[in-house]
Amino acid sequence: MIGLRKLGWTAGAFLLAGFALAADPPGRVGYGYAISDGPVCSLWWAEGAYKVMKDDPAPPVAAAAGIRISCARNEYEPFLLVLRPKAPLDDIRVHVSDLTGPGGAVLPAASLSVRHVEYVRVEIPTDAAGKAGWWPDPLPPYDGPFSAPALENHPLWITVFVPPDAKPGDYRGMIALSAGTWSEIVRLELKVRDFALPDKPSIRSSFGFSADDIRRYHNLETPEEVEKVVDLYFQDMKEHRVAPTSPFELYPIKIDFSGVFWEGGEFVTAPVHGGKRALKVVDADATRAVDARTAASVPVEPGVAYALSLWVRTEKPDQEYSVLLEAANVEGTPLYGRNVLEVFKGTGDWKKESIEIKSFGPGVASVRLRLFPAFRSADGTALGTAYFDDIALIRAAGPGANLVPGGDFEMPVEAMSIAADFRAFDRGGKRYLDEFGFNAFDLPLEGLGSGSFYDRKAGMFGGFPQGSPEYDRLLSQYLRQVEAHLAANGWLGKEYIYWFDEPDPKDYPFVREGMLNIRKNAPRLTRFITEHRPGPEIMDVSEIGCTIFDRVDPKAVAELSPKGKGREFWSYLCTGPKSPWVTLFIDHPAVNLRMWLWMSYAWGLKGILVWRANYWNSSSLYPADVLQSPWADPMSYTVGYGVPFGQPNHWGNGDGRFLYPPNRDPNRDKTKYLGGPIDSVRWEILREGIEDYEYFVLLEKAAAAAPPARAALAAEARALLKFPATLFTSGKEYTKDPKALLDYRAKVADLIEKLLKK
């Protein structure tokens, strides 16, 4: 962006030329404020609280009108500058000046960002409240001259960021527009309030995120590239005062098992060939070949003959399965040409098989045993279940010790232990919890169960099923180590354990068991549950209860989370609710996401959740080699929940999608994109709502701390924080007019300044 100083303009010189900001235009059509209506192009503006449609009428002309906005320090404040050309207009350029304020204070032009408002074509409305047509949502940055068609709106989304140390007062500057012989100067006045928003958000949040989708849509090749781009997305989230659900997706806690010796599969007590345990391996995934394997490689010697024997029981007669000895050199580098793989056919009963190896070949120093319950193919389409027991790899010449540790799976419980490796986790924690200040994160834990109202899966840890002595021993060690590590790093309390989603009453016993198991082993860790039915039935075993928005009961929230008791209630939006409720959809009113935060404050909610922020593609609809383009198709399609592949079930336009990839045509454009996300109108309005929430918290605190001399102001503040019915009475009965919120917010800001005035 080129500042006006480079064009020879300054804000001061502009004002000396005799221009002054005019009052609000006397008449308005719908919303917005007219600036000019020349023969080439009409200009108008509106606060950053609206969705400007292509055909919205411009307000009546008002001579010498300018833009006036206000915000606190450490706050972002957007507004819309709308061009409506009378004929096609090309080579349009935008330049912003510095903003000059009290005592010569300057907000540099770099404090303002300029973005285009682009439109997506809604073909299928989300519900009866939506409509087909072009809807504003993506906000790609202005990066040079552009064209605008005739007789339709072309909005620019301009955002000012006021740093925490800015001087309060009035700042003035300008925005210059030009195209050929046409040019316009738009005056901008910013009132910086005499208070600042906190760096750490007062409301917690959880916005789901997929690093793998970043890799695919940005055409990234290396882990380092993925990490770099994901970091840019997280910076964007930080600037929008929200936290990703899982900032540790790329920074897992690693676990080292002692006394277990195997990875993958499940240790079972029946059926067994001998002893008390066998290993069950299930391949129900048609996209990959599932296996179990030795945890460590087994050393072998060159030129030595070996014999491998094992007992196997397949689930079905004539079921093929595969046994692989994967070769590596002394450095651990795979030697694929030295592998030994045999395919056997089971009978449905226990059967012994053997492999004779004359020599593993030159350079082989170790092998890793891998057990596939089905025929091993490149695409993994073969499926099956098999049980393995009494595995031995010995020297062929004479009796010798079994080289496969735990080959009979009779590993003593008392010899089992785990050590958690936090090195990668700490790198993510220092970046995203300490530096970025994310105030909430889903703690990624191994071994817990999982599920939803649709289906569920019991926990497994180290191959041992939930409820077994081995599981209890290992999980207890693990949870205690995690709890202690979070406490030692100052992160304890920011975490939440979100392991089950939206349970039905039939799931309550299972969820209760899992929650109590966490509490027994790590009582300081925070348990989290999303719940359709707010109430004590299951929320008594969680510290955070998160209810779908249309089922939030403010009375229940007040009863179940009294102040000082440490419990929190959040709410979430997703494919539901739909109209007339507050929603998150592209083709619904602009005020919705802002109103969500107003209601959250009024009802004592401490957090907000959306299941994904970058849900761009449904694997239930699109083949593995095809990616949906959210630029071309705004509909979010159902994934999972038993939907047959290829069936286009609709969740809603923009559900789980607040950010756009810079790649608009991911199936043909293979450019490597190393930049961050493209924001959306809804993402910006959500931030405005979160900043509104901060205003309410600041006013509440200022009233509580007011001295006796300001008791009347404190009483006025408390009354103002009891929002009137003209704004909302419930989650489905609320004003759709953003101006009502803007006017009320101005009253809150005025009162904060009065209470904090020295």
Res 26: pLDDT: 35
In this structure, the strands spanning 607-610 and 351-357 are unpaired
Res 352: pLDDT: 98
The pLDDT confidence band at residue 58, using thresholds 50, 70 and 90, is confident
Enter the tokens of residue 405. 């540790």
CA distance linking residue 418 with residue 474, whole number of Å: 6
In this structure, the strands spanning 266-268 and 278-283 are antiparallel
Res 123: pLDDT: 97
Res 453: pLDDT: 84
H runs (alpha helix) in 130-240: 211-217, 223-239
Q: C-alpha 205: how far from its chain's center?
A: 10
CA distance linking residue 747 with residue 75, whole number of Å: 17
Residue-wise pLDDT tens digits, 43-56: 999 999 999 999 99
Res 709: pLDDT: 95
Enter the tokens of residue 51. 């969705």
| C-alpha triplet 636, 641, 647: angle, nearest 5° | 55
Residue-wise pLDDT tens digits, 187-235: 999 999 999 999 999 999 999 999 999 999 999 999 999 999 999 999 9
Average pLDDT of the residues of the chain: 93
Enter the tokens of residue 667. 């199936």
Of 53-62, 98-107, 126-135, 303-312, the range with the lowest mean pLDDT is 53-62
The pLDDT confidence band at residue 1, using thresholds 50, 70 and 90, is very low
Do residues 654 and 642 lie in contact, with contact meaning Cβ atoms separated by under 8 Å? no
Res 557: pLDDT: 87
CA distance linking residue 585 with residue 126, whole number of Å: 7
Do residues 442 and 498 lie in contact, with contact meaning Cβ atoms separated by under 8 Å? yes
Tell me how far CA of residue 127 lies from CA of 130, 575, 696, in angstroms: 6, 11, 33
Residue-wise pLDDT tens digits, 23-42: 333 334 579 999 999 999 99
Residue-wise DSSP of 485-504: HHHHTT-TTTEEB--EES--
User: Letter for the amino acid at 283?
Assistant: D
The pLDDT confidence band at residue 564, using thresholds 50, 70 and 90, is low
Of 174-178, 468-472, 538-542, the range with the lowest mean pLDDT is 538-542
Residue whose tokens read 């800001």? 749
CA distance linking residue 616 with residue 655, whole number of Å: 10
CATH number of this structure's domain 261-410: 2.60.120.260
Angle between helices 592-602 and 738-756 (to 10 degrees): 50
Number of Cβ atoms within 10 Å of the Cβ of 57: 12
The pLDDT confidence band at residue 533, using thresholds 50, 70 and 90, is low
Element holding 268 (H helix, E strand): strand 266-268
User: Letter for the amino acid at 533?
Assistant: R
Tell me how far CA of residue 498 lies from CA of 263, 363, 513, 561, in angstroms: 25, 47, 15, 19
Enter the tokens of residue 163. 């740093």
Res 539: pLDDT: 77
Residue-wise pLDDT tens digits, 484-526: 999 999 999 999 999 999 998 899 999 999 999 999 999 999 9
How many percent of the chain have pLDDT more than 90? Answer: 88
CA distance linking residue 470 with residue 463, whole number of Å: 9
Res 642: pLDDT: 82
Strands (E), 48-129: 67-73, 75-85, 89-96, 99-100, 106-107, 112-116, 119-122
Residue-wise DSSP of 664-729: S-TTT------S-PBEEHHHHHHHHHHHHHHHHHHHHHHHHT--GGGHHHHHHHHHHTS--TTTEE
CA distance linking residue 476 with residue 492, whole number of Å: 18
What number of CA atoms fall less than 13 Å from residue 657's CA on the CB side?
27
Work out the average pLDDT over 174-179: 98
Res 67: pLDDT: 96
Do residues 524 and 542 lie in contact, with contact meaning Cβ atoms separated by under 8 Å? no
Residue-wise pLDDT tens digits, 577-623: 999 999 999 999 999 999 999 999 999 999 999 999 999 999 999 99
Res 5: pLDDT: 28
Residues 6+ apart with CB under 8 A from 633: 123
DSSP 238: H
Spell out the SS3 assignment of 349-397.
CCEEEEEEECCCCCCCCEEEEEEECCCCCCCCCCCEEEEEEEEEEEECC
**Residue 534 predicted with pLDDT over 80:** no
Of 148, 181, 174, 179, which is closest to residue 35 (Cα–Cα)?
174
What number of CA atoms fall less than 13 Å from residue 142's CA on the CB side?
26
- What phi and psi, each to the nearest 5 degrees, are found at residue 653? -70, 115
Residue whose tokens read 């609206």? 50
Q: Coil, strand, or helix at residue 83?
A: strand
In this structure, the strands spanning 544-548 and 568-573 are parallel
CA distance linking residue 370 with residue 324, whole number of Å: 5
Tell me how far CA of residue 609 lies from CA of 204, 208, 440, in angstroms: 9, 8, 11
Of 453-467, 525-539, 707-721, the range with the lowest mean pLDDT is 525-539
The pLDDT confidence band at residue 537, using thresholds 50, 70 and 90, is confident
Q: What residue segments make up the domains of the chain, in order of their start? A: 4-196, 261-410
Predicted TM-score (pTM) of this structure: 0.92
Do residues 714 and 751 lie in contact, with contact meaning Cβ atoms separated by under 8 Å? no
CA distance linking residue 100 with residue 72, whole number of Å: 16
Res 565: pLDDT: 65
Res 567: pLDDT: 86
Tell me how far CA of residue 33 lies from CA of 42, 89, 97, in angstroms: 11, 22, 21
CA distance linking residue 349 with residue 568, whole number of Å: 54
Res 563: pLDDT: 65
- What phi and psi, each to the nearest 5 degrees, are found at residue 484? -65, -40
The pLDDT confidence band at residue 643, using thresholds 50, 70 and 90, is confident
Res 17: pLDDT: 32
Q: Coil, strand, or helix at residue 114?
A: strand
CA distance linking residue 412 with residue 415, whole number of Å: 6
Element holding 157 (H helix, E strand): strand 154-162
Res 536: pLDDT: 64
Number of Cβ atoms within 10 Å of the Cβ of 118: 20
**Residue 754 predicted with pLDDT over 90:** yes
CA distance linking residue 595 with residue 172, whole number of Å: 30
Residue-wise pLDDT tens digits, 238-283: 999 999 999 999 999 999 999 999 999 999 999 999 999 999 999 9
Out of 2.60.40.10, 3.40.50.10490, 3.30.390.10, 3.40.50.970, the CATH code matching 4-196 is 2.60.40.10
DSSP 55: T
DSSP 414: G
Residue-wise pLDDT tens digits, 384-418: 999 999 999 999 987 789 999 999 999 999 999 99
CA distance linking residue 91 with residue 89, whole number of Å: 7
Q: C-alpha 36: how far from its chain's center?
A: 41
- What phi and psi, each to the nearest 5 degrees, are found at residue 499? -110, -15
